[in-house]
Chain A
Amino acid sequence: MFKVIEIFRGIEIPKNNLCRIGLSVVLFIILLGSFAPLIAKDPYETNMAKRLESPSSEHFFGADQLGRDLFSRVIYGARTSLIVAITISAFSMGIGCLIGAVSGYFGGIIDDVIGRIIDVFLSIPEIVVNIALVGVFCTIYGSSTWNVILAVVFTNWVSYARITRGIVLSLKEREFIFCSKAIGAKSSWILFKHIIPNALGPIIVLATLNVGNIILTIASLGFLGLGIQPPTPEWGQLLNSGKNYIATAPWITFFPGLFIALSVFGFNLLGEGLRDILERRRIYE
C-alpha cells in the first residue's frame, strides 16, 4: 500500500483534477455497495400493489414490475457489480501477470509461444467471445454467476499479460538488472526488488480502467439476459426488464443506467488521472 502511494506520489492524487473527481465517484459507489443494508430496504420484497409505481419520497426511484423498491435494487446492484468486477479483475490480473512475466523473463521458445497466444487473444473481439462463452457455459452448467466470471476472465487476462511481458522485456535490457545479475542476485530477489516495483504503476492504471470496462461488460451481458440472473439485482439485468416498460415506467430504465454510466465514468477518470501522474513522473525522471 505504501509502495502504491509512493509510485503515484500520493500527494499528487488530490491535486490532479481527473483523479480527484474519479476517486470521489469510485469511493461513493464503493460506500453505497458496502453499506447497502444500512441505506436500502430489502431489494427482494415484492409488492404487487406497488407495481410500476413512479418515484416518490417513499420509493426514490419508483418500483419495478414486481413492485420491488427500485432504489434498493440499484444500491444492491452496486454491490453485485463491484464484487463481480473486482473478482474478474483479480483473477485476470493473477493469470495475466504470471503468464506475461514468465514469457518475458524466460524468453526464447516460451516467449514465442506465449507471444503468439497473446496475439490470438488480442485479435478476437472480446464481447463476441464473452457472449458465446456464456451461452455455452449456460448450456453445460446451467445459469450461474461463475459463467459470467469465467467467460470474461477468458478474454480479459490478455491485457495484463501483454503489459507485464512488455515491462519485463524492457527491464531485462536495462543496466540495473544486469548489474544485479552480475553481483549474483537470485531470480526471486530481482523479481521482488526490481520487476514488481517497476511494473506496479502501469498495472494499477490498467486495473483501474479495467474494472470500469468490466462493469460495462457485465451490464451488457445482463442486458442481453445472459449475465447474472434474477432475483439477484444487477444493473444491466434491471435495464433488461425495464426496457419492456419504457413507455409506462421509464424510471426502471433510467436509474440503473445512470449508475452504470456513473461508475464506469468514475473508474475511467481515476485511471486516466493515475496515468497522467505516472507519465509526468516519468518525464521528470
Chain B
Amino acid sequence: MLRYIARRALQIIPTILGISIISFSLLYIFPGDPAEFIVEARYGVEPTQEMVEKIRIEMGLDKPFVVQYFNWLSKAVRGDFGISWTEDKTVMEVILERLPISAELFFATFAISVVFALILGVISAVHKDKAIDHICRIYSLLGISIPSFWLGLILIWIFSVQLHLLPAFGCCELKHLILPVLTWCFSFMAIKTRFVRASLLEELSKNYVITARAKGLPEKLVVFRHALRNALIPIITYFSLSLHHLIVGSIMVEVVFSWPGLGSLLVESVFKRDFPVVQALVFLSGVLLITMNLVVDLLYAVIDPRIRYGD
C-alpha cells in the first residue's frame, strides 16, 4: 500500500513540471519590460532608468529564461509566487485573502449538488426510459448547455429586479449566497446527475444483480445494498475530483454576481495585467486538479476491497 502511494506520487511530478512551464511561460512572453510596467503600476510615476534597473535586478529579470524559470519554480513549490505587480502585497497574500470567499460559494454548491445529484440520478436510473428519466436526462443536457452567466442574469432579473427578494450582488451573508449557489448548482448538478445515472445503470446490468434478484430481495435492497454500493466507487471518485473547482471553479458565476472570490480575482488580474497573480492561479488550479486525482486514486483503494487487499 505504501509503495503504491509512493509510486503514484512520483508519477505526478512530470505533469506538475509541465504545468509549471506553461504557467511560467505566460509571464515570460510578456512584451516590453515588466520592470517598467511594475514601476508604473505600483508607484504611478513615470519610470526612471534607475528604478527600473533596481527592480529588474531585484526580480532577476536580467537572467536567461532557464535560470528565471528555476528561480521561480524553486520559490513556487514553497508557495512563494513573488510580489503582485499592482498591489504592495505578495501574490500568496492576495490569493489567500480571496480563497475563503470562493470556498464558501464552492462548498455550498458542492454539498447541495451532491445530495440532489444522487437523488435524481438514482430515480432516473431506477425508472429508466420512463417519463421521469427523460425529464432528468433533458435536464442534464440543458444543465451543460445553458450558460451560467445568462442563467445568473435571468435569476437576478426575476428575484432582484422584479420580486425584490434577494440582492443581485454583494457578499458574504446567506442572502447573497442563494442566487450564485442556485446558478452554479444548475450546471454542477447536471453533470453529476448524469454520472450517477450512468454508473448505477452500469452496475444494474451486471450479473450479481441478477443473483440478488433471484434471491428474492426486495427491489429496494437490490438497488441500494447491491448496485448503489458498487456504483458509489466511481461516484465518490468523480465527486471528489470536482473539488478542483475550489480554485477558480466558477469564474462566470463569480463575475455575474460580483462575488469577490478567486474567479473574479483571475479576471481582474487579467485586466490589470497583474500577471504573477494570473500565473499563480493557473499553476495552483492545475496542481490542485492533479493532487485531487492522486487523492482520489488513494481513496479508491480505501473503499474498494479488491484494491484494499492488494488484489
By the criterion CB–CB under 8 Å, are B281 and A124 in contact? no
By the criterion CB–CB under 8 Å, are A257 and B153 in contact? yes
Chain A residue with the shortest CB-CB distance to B147: A260
Interface residues in A208-223 by Cβ distance below 8 A to B read: 212, 216, 219-220, 223
Interface residues in B5-28 by Cβ distance below 8 A to A read: 14-15, 18-19, 22, 26
User: 1/0 contact trace for A65-88 toward B, CB 8 Å?
Assistant: 000000000000000000000000
By the criterion CB–CB under 8 Å, are B248 and A125 in contact? yes
Chain A contacts of B154 at CB under 8 A? Answer: 253-254, 257
Per a CB cutoff under 8 Å, which of B252, B255, B278 touches A132? B278
Q: Is the interface of A mostly helix, strand, loop or mixed?
A: helix
Give Cα A127–Cα B266 distance, bound, in whole angstroms. Answer: 11
What's the A-B contact tally at a CB cutoff of 8 Å? Answer: 136
Chain B residue with the shortest CB-CB distance to A253: B153
Chain B residue with the shortest CB-CB distance to A240: B149
By the criterion CB–CB under 8 Å, are B19 and A120 in contact? yes
By the criterion CB–CB under 8 Å, are A224 and B14 in contact? no
Give Cα A224–Cα B270 distance, bound, in whole angstroms. Answer: 11
Contact A243 B256, CB 8 Å, known A116-B15, A131-B266, A131-B270: yes
Chain B contacts of A250 at CB under 8 A? Answer: 157, 161
Least CB distance from A51 to B in Å reads 19
Give Cα A225–Cα B149 distance, bound, in whole angstroms. Answer: 13
By the criterion CB–CB under 8 Å, are B161 and A247 in contact? yes
Q: Does A133 contact B (CB under 8 A)?
A: yes
Per a CB cutoff under 8 Å, which of B145, B266, B267 touches A212? B145
Give Cα A258–Cα B146 distance, bound, in whole angstroms. Answer: 8
Chain A contacts of B22 at CB under 8 A? Answer: 120, 124, 129
Chain A contacts of B156 at CB under 8 A? Answer: 246
Q: Is the interface of B mostly helix, strand, loop or mixed?
A: helix
Question: Which among B170-178, B223-231, B286-294 touches the partner chain?
Answer: B286-294
By the criterion CB–CB under 8 Å, are B150 and A253 in contact? yes
By the criterion CB–CB under 8 Å, are A135 and B273 in contact? yes
Chain B contacts of A268 at CB under 8 A? Answer: 141, 144-145
Per a CB cutoff under 8 Å, which of A117, A124, A135, A272 touches B141? A272
Least CB distance from A117 to B in Å reads 7
Interface size range of chain B in the complex? 35 or more
Give Cα A225–Cα B252 distance, bound, in whole angstroms. Answer: 12
Contact A123 B273, CB 8 Å, known A136-B29, A246-B157: no
Q: Does A261 contact B (CB under 8 A)?
A: yes
Q: Does A239 contact B (CB under 8 A)?
A: yes
Per a CB cutoff under 8 Å, which of A140, A236, A239, A246 touches B31? A140
Least CB distance from B235 to A in Å reads 21
By the criterion CB–CB under 8 Å, are A261 and B150 in contact? yes
Give Cα A123–Cα B289 distance, bound, in whole angstroms. Answer: 6
Chain A contacts of B122 at CB under 8 A? Answer: none
By the criterion CB–CB under 8 Å, are A216 and B29 in contact? no
Give Cα A269–Cα B281 distance, bound, in whole angstroms. Answer: 34
Q: Does B309 contact A (CB under 8 A)?
A: no
By the criterion CB–CB under 8 Å, are B153 and A239 in contact? yes
Q: Does A264 contact B (CB under 8 A)?
A: yes
Give Cα A242–Cα B156 distance, bound, in whole angstroms. Answer: 13
Interface residues in A138-174 by Cβ distance below 8 A to B read: 139-140
By the criterion CB–CB under 8 Å, are A125 and B285 in contact? yes
**Residue picked from B147, B156, B267, B286, most chain A C-beta under 10 Å:** B147
By the criterion CB–CB under 8 Å, are B252 and A223 in contact? yes
By the criterion CB–CB under 8 Å, are A140 and B149 in contact? no
Q: List 17 A-B contacts (CB under 8 A).
A: A116-B18, A127-B251, A128-B251, A131-B270, A132-B26, A132-B279, A132-B282, A135-B275, A136-B30, A223-B147, A223-B255, A226-B267, A236-B147, A247-B161, A253-B154, A260-B147, A261-B146
Q: List the 5 closest pairs (A to B, CB-CB), nearest first.
A: A120-B18, A257-B150, A135-B270, A265-B145, A264-B145
